[in-house]
Structure 1
Amino acid sequence: MFSIKLARQLALPVMSLCATVLFTSCDSSDDSPAPVVEENPFVVSLAIKGSDGGFTYYTVPFEDVMSGALSAEGQGIEQPGYYDFTQIDNTIYSIGGLSDVNVVSISQNAAGELTQIGNVSFANPLSDIVKADDNTLVALEMAPNSDMVKFHTIDANTVKVTSTKQHPVSDITELSAPAYSGMRISGNHLFLSYYISDPNTFATPYTDAAQIAVYSYPGLEFQKVIEDTRTGPVGGFNIKSGLIKDGKGDIYALSHSNPANGYSQTTKEGGILRIKSGETAFDQDYFFDIEEINGGKNIAHLKYLGNGKAFAEINTADNDQQERWTDGPLRSAVIDLYNKTVTYIDGIPEHAGNGRRLAALHHENFVYLPVPEGNSIYVYKIDVENHTATKGAEVEANFVAGLFKL
């Protein structure tokens, strides 16, 4: 299975974007039909390791993910290399890295086929893409070998860059290269979370405070860096969930300093901070002390559900007992950001993560989560109200890079 350890060995960040990738069906015939399923399918991006040690990703539609086996054999959009997947509205964005470095959108056309639109490239690694409004995306380019932070505004319909704004890295730190951990837009501001990581050794020498850079939106002008010493840096290596936003526009910032997610030291307890909608400072009246409430265990991954609730993957080991780069061991839970509670899910075994963006789907009152068990992977359907889980289909892949519903 792909892990943070492998990503580190490949000298990530892995989101570099500069070349062109040819998409084909898994069938080698040039006139093979595109995969077709009924309206609003599940879509799974399956990562399969080749004999050369590299991975190929197959993005495949399925009518059901709770029975049988999910296989890419003979179908799917094929992408050899490294890819990160994120869904915005009814479109999946495939972000290439390493030697295959472009961005393409994947959606379902009127005939029920999975199709690709656009093909945009960048000079340096792309860290993430987030939604600004129904027609606009913002992409971030913040590479360890660059002294600039670049924001690209992208037309969501054509996947073409409409404008670029850049600022010197020195605006946000004079220390070693900042590593991306999260980005959200709320009202007239864009919030960018990061932590300090040596690009050569991946050591994290500064863990005494949370820092978030604040930019105007839509102007994308740098305004300031806000800092809070109640907890450590926001987010972790490659998991991209340092910041989430609720329905009111409040921003929540997750700090954990987990060695399992890339930290070489931990000097502050983990917790969650808040920036209230319309504000550009941390709310001093809010602190969700995760370690105190949860017996010293820290949240590694977060996915917002609604009404103040979020799905969480929680490391079951204390920070001083974690093996670095393992992204685990993890237990699944639902946290209440407003009432500051943690409720674990029954029926899911303790498991490891993939060392990357969480491949979990929130649909209606359920979260669908691929869970590795031994040498296999199974989809679990989690009832986020009753906190129970049902075991579903077996996944025929080395790991799942994305799970979506169109």
Structure 2
Amino acid sequence: MKLKATLAALLAAATLVSCNDDKAAAPNNPGNYILTVTPVAATAVADYLLTAGSLEAGTISTQGNGVEQDGTYRYYVTHNNKFFSMLYGQGNPGAVTAYNLKEGKLNRLTNFQTETVQSFAPVKDDLLLFKITRNATTTPLSQWYKVNTNNLLITADGSTNTLSLARNGELAHFSWLKQVGDKVFAPYFTIKNTSFNTNYPDSAWIAVFNYADMRVEKVIRDGRTSFIGRYFRDGLSVVENGDVYAFSASVATNNPGSGSVISSTKPSAITRIKAGTTEFDQSYYLNFEALSGGMNITNWLYVGNNTFVVQATTPAEKGAYADGLNVGILNVVDQTFAPVTGLPAKADIKSITYNNYTPKDGKTGYLGVNLKDGSSYVYKVDASTRTATRGLKVEGGTITAVQYLAGE
């Protein structure tokens, strides 16, 4: 069986020590916050994992500190009080390394290989991983894996026919995954080739999976927006009362000549699925472009109490893979939006992290802000006052994620 073979490979890989050892000693600045940092270098280098005791003050550095990751492209998620570092192998198998914290220092629990995956999310006690096909001629099947975060083993795997799922001759490509009750919502866009172009730019789809057996129960569609989220960007959020909100960046592309051009005609907007239902709520629609003066959402961080820290682009900055440098506060129930003050001038910002931390207290979010002069800081955003305050300085690299573990 495929699952047995996968488990055998996982166990064999987990026993490897010398070739998979982390390349640096434990960091000298213990704490419960984990920052992933790409060191300054002339060529692509692997991220370092740094810990910190506070995000609001102090300085940490990659010099002589941190745990170096194997491989250049890494993505991160925390679940069940563990931190998972996942290698994007660009078509090759990718390593998954799991850590916990002991006395404020990272402790590696396992390191194993899976297929490179394009979407993943915490679901119950698992991480659900999806390797999504991009070539219907070769195979229409996208592979999924369940990694149990208690025993750190792959406990189930299978496949979903994403050509049949789309039902329009293109392949369904999940932008992300989200646990909603005992189901998994998988918003997707459809692609006609590996460049992610589509003939169907003005629809939002969600595949609803029964998580127990990963059977697709239904597909729901909304024609008021383009697809939900973006490539590798989570566009779904579940709020305290169980309602699900979805943002569309409106960045679908087509290729009539040379180069991809935005083909979505719908505005960047927010829709809702009410708690306990599996249909879009037709009574709710928030036109974000109209509310924000023409901007489109590229990413959001739910801080609680129906409130999001939003990253957005202006019409001139809009692109399929553009991450917004405009930060604002959005309340999806009050339908209000206002910019955040206190951040550096946009002309001075090189990038803002999209993988960020919030204690979900209804007001607080922490963003990594990397400046063009080479300096990097964590900024604390207070949604109640719509202000940002500069905090922890990170020397020697570019912040790529800000996370937190309770530790042991």
Q: TM-score, normalised by structure 1?
A: 0.83
Q: Distance in 1 between matches of 2:142 and 2:317?
A: 32
Change (3 A) 1:237 1:132: closer
Q: Distance in 1 between matches of 2:384 and 2:283?
A: 28
Q: Is the 8 A contact 1:104 1:159 kept in 2?
A: no
| 1:144-223 paired onto structure 2 within 5 Å | 144-145=134-135, 146-173=139-166, 174-223=168-217
Q: Which amino acid aligns with 1:379?
A: V
Gaps of 5+ in 1: 1-16, 27-31
Q: Kindly indicate whether residue 37 of structure 2 is the aligned counterpart of residue 41 of structure 1.
A: no
Please give the per-residue CA displacement for 1:195-254, whole angstroms capped at 9, x wherever unaligned: 12344333343211111111112221112221111111111123x211111122222111
Equivalent residue number for residue 230 of structure 1: 224
Q: Is the 8 A contact 1:241 1:303 kept in 2?
A: no
Change (3 A) 1:264 1:202: farther
Gaps of 5+ in 2: 1-9, 254-259
| 1:300-379 paired onto structure 2 within 5 Å | 300-315=298-313, 317-318=314-315, 321-322=316-317, 324=319, 327-348=322-343, 349-350=345-346, 358-363=354-359, 364=361, 365-375=363-373, 376-379=375-378
Q: Kindly indicate whether residue 129 of structure 2 is the aligned counterpart of residue 115 of structure 1.
A: no
Per-residue deviation at 1:403? Answer: 0.8
**Helix, strand or coil at the partner of 1:55:** coil
Q: Is the 8 A contact 2:95 2:113 kept in 1?
A: yes
Q: Is the 8 A contact 2:93 2:113 kept in 1?
A: no
Per-residue deviation at 1:180? Answer: 2.7
Give the counterpart of 1:71 among 61, 78, 82. 61
Q: Distance in 1 between matches of 2:220 and 2:198?
A: 19
Q: Distance in 2 between matches of 1:151 and 1:100?
A: 14
Q: Is the 8 A contact 1:69 1:395 kept in 2?
A: yes
**Helix, strand or coil at the partner of 1:248:** coil
> Which has the larger displacement, 306-315 or 324-333?
324-333
Q: Distance in 2 between matches of 1:343 and 1:382?
A: 13
Per-residue deviation at 1:329? Answer: 4.7
Q: Kindly indicate whether residue 394 of structure 2 is the aligned counterpart of residue 395 of structure 1.
A: yes
Q: Distance in 2 between matches of 1:41 and 1:220?
A: 34
Change (3 A) 1:327 1:395: farther
Per-residue deviation at 1:48? Answer: 2.2
Q: Is the 8 A contact 1:380 1:389 kept in 2?
A: yes
Equivalent residue number for residue 270 of structure 1: 268
Q: Kindly indicate whether residue 237 of structure 2 is the aligned counterpart of residue 244 of structure 1.
A: yes
Q: Is the 8 A contact 2:163 2:172 kept in 1?
A: no
Q: Which amino acid aligns with 1:207?
A: P
Per-residue deviation at 1:405? Answer: 2.1
Q: Distance in 1 between matches of 2:357 and 2:65?
A: 22
Change (3 A) 1:328 1:401: closer
Q: Distance in 2 between matches of 1:326 and 1:274?
A: 24
Change (3 A) 1:23 1:286: farther
Please give the per-residue CA displacement for 1:283-336, whole angstroms capped at 9, x wherever unaligned: 111111111212221111011111211111121x12xx3363562452111211
Change (3 A) 1:150 1:60: same
**Helix, strand or coil at the partner of 1:93:** strand
Q: Is the 8 A contact 1:71 1:397 kept in 2?
A: yes
Equivalent residue number for residue 292 of structure 1: 290
Q: Which amino acid aligns with 1:189?
A: K
Change (3 A) 1:299 1:323: closer
Change (3 A) 1:65 1:161: same
Q: Which amino acid aligns with 2:113?
A: S
Q: Distance in 2 between matches of 1:353 and 1:328?
A: 10
Per-residue deviation at 1:89? Answer: 4.6
Q: Which amino acid aligns with 2:131?
A: E
Q: Which amino acid aligns with 2:383?
A: V
**Helix, strand or coil at the partner of 1:126:** coil
**Helix, strand or coil at the partner of 2:286:** coil
Q: Which amino acid aligns with 1:336?
A: N
Q: Is the 8 A contact 1:275 1:283 kept in 2?
A: yes
**Helix, strand or coil at the partner of 2:284:** coil
Q: Distance in 2 between matches of 1:353 and 1:96?
A: 24
Please give the per-residue CA displacement for 1:239-291, whole angstroms capped at 9, x wherever unaligned: x211111122222111012379x873222111111112221111111111111
Q: Is the 8 A contact 2:303 2:309 kept in 1?
A: yes
Q: Which amino acid aligns with 1:103?
A: V
Aligned-pair Cα RMSD in Å = 2.7
Please give the per-residue CA displacement for 1:39-94, whole angstroms capped at 9, x wherever unaligned: x522111012544x222110011123344433111121111321011222532211
Q: Which amino acid aligns with 2:236?
A: L
Q: Is the 8 A contact 1:236 1:263 kept in 2?
A: no
**Higher-RCO chain (CA-CA 8 Å, sequence separation at least 6):** 1
Please give the per-residue CA displacement for 1:72-123, whole angstroms capped at 9, x wherever unaligned: 11121111321011222532211111257111222202x4431122334323
Q: Kindly indicate whether residue 121 of structure 2 is the aligned counterpart of residue 130 of structure 1.
A: yes
Q: Distance in 2 between matches of 1:54 and 1:340?
A: 42
Q: Which amino acid aligns with 1:322?
A: E
Aligned length: 372
Equivalent residue number for residue 5 of structure 2: none
Q: Which amino acid aligns with 1:117?
A: L
